[in-house]
Amino acid sequence: MLSTLLILVFLPCCLSFPVIPKTTLDDLDFFKDYFHRFFFTKEKSQHYALEDQLRFLQHFFRLEETGWLDEPTKAIIRQPRCGVRDIADYSFFPGKPKITSNPVTYSVINYPRSMNRRTVEKILWKAAEVWSSVTPLRFWRVYRRDADIEFAFLAGDHGDAYPFDGKGDILAHAFAPDPDYQGIVHFDSDEHWSYFEEGINLFLVAVHEIGHALGLAHSQDSDSIMFPTYQYQDPRLFRLSDDDIIAIQTLYY
């Protein structure tokens, strides 16, 4: 009798505890992984409350700084994006590294399955020309492995400590200029690359990654080609934003 009475007394209290939906837990896990990959490492994140981490990310993407995992925040972290880490409030990599040779040589190591070689070569040349149109830089295609910039289409774990994740989230990545090795631009070969809206537009991603190879970090301006997430626009109408032009000319003028 006593045990039954205790159950009846405590049952309403027990039922009052909120049950966190699985979708919410999944979203939180996704956010934490995203934040560790692109902002603070797990070790550094331990010094910041989850609310502070959310505000930091929202500040970078110029969202309302609610400190909650709200719908705009969930939407931005679910978008396909570049694999380069985000450096809040900076347009350049630390030390402002840049390529010192001119013309800038580039080589193409291999090609995606979804496009023919000639089309890929034309797209990469046009992407490079975007940056030469606003700087003194000129680009020159070479057929050797010691070019200033090397383009390759790779999948999964490809030996640089930044594995691709298959079709979906991470589209490509590039490394800042370094005097000890050539610039490297890697595209995820599991993506469906194209020159149109279908799939992932190679031209737009290539312009972005060449920007990294020249020394630009990510921009907080959503109109910039250096914004971290992929946003389709018609390549025939593409123009660099003022933010892009000011940043690249700061390095190369």
Q: Range with the lowest mean pLDDT among 116-125, 127-136, 154-163, 199-208?
A: 154-163
Task: For 159-168, write each residue's pLDDT tens digit.
Answer: 998 999 888 7
32 token code pair = 């934490």
Angle between helix 242-252 and helix 202-214 axes, rounded to 10 deg: 40
Confidence of residue 41 (pLDDT cuts 50, 70, 90): confident
Active site residues: 209
Residue range 201-227: average pLDDT? 96
Confidence of residue 218 (pLDDT cuts 50, 70, 90): very high
Task: For 66-79, write each residue's pLDDT tens digit.
Answer: 999 999 999 999 99
Q: What is the pLDDT of residue 25?
A: 67
Confidence of residue 190 (pLDDT cuts 50, 70, 90): very high
Residues 57 and 138 in one domain: no
Q: What is the DSSP string of 189-232?
A: TTS-EESSSSSEEHHHHHHHHHHHHHTB---S-TTSTTSSB---
Residues 55 and 110 in one domain: no
Angle between helix 50-60 and helix 22-38 axes, rounded to 10 deg: 60
Q: What is the pLDDT of residue 140?
A: 97
93 in any annotated domain: no
Does position 116 have pLDDT exceeding 50, yes or no? yes
Task: Domain of residue 69: give its range.
Answer: 22-78
Residues 127 and 29 in one domain: no
Residues 131 and 61 in one domain: no
Residues 117 and 203 in one domain: yes
85 in any annotated domain: no
Residues 245 and 143 in one domain: yes
Between CA 188 and CA 190 the distance in angstroms is 5
Residue range 91-112: average pLDDT? 93
> pTM for this one?
0.87
Q: Taking the mean position of all CA atoms in its chain, how far away is CA 84?
A: 5
Confidence of residue 89 (pLDDT cuts 50, 70, 90): low
- What's the total number of domains in the chain? 2
Residues 37 and 138 in one domain: no
Between CA 215 and CA 135 the distance in angstroms is 13
Between CA 227 and CA 220 the distance in angstroms is 6
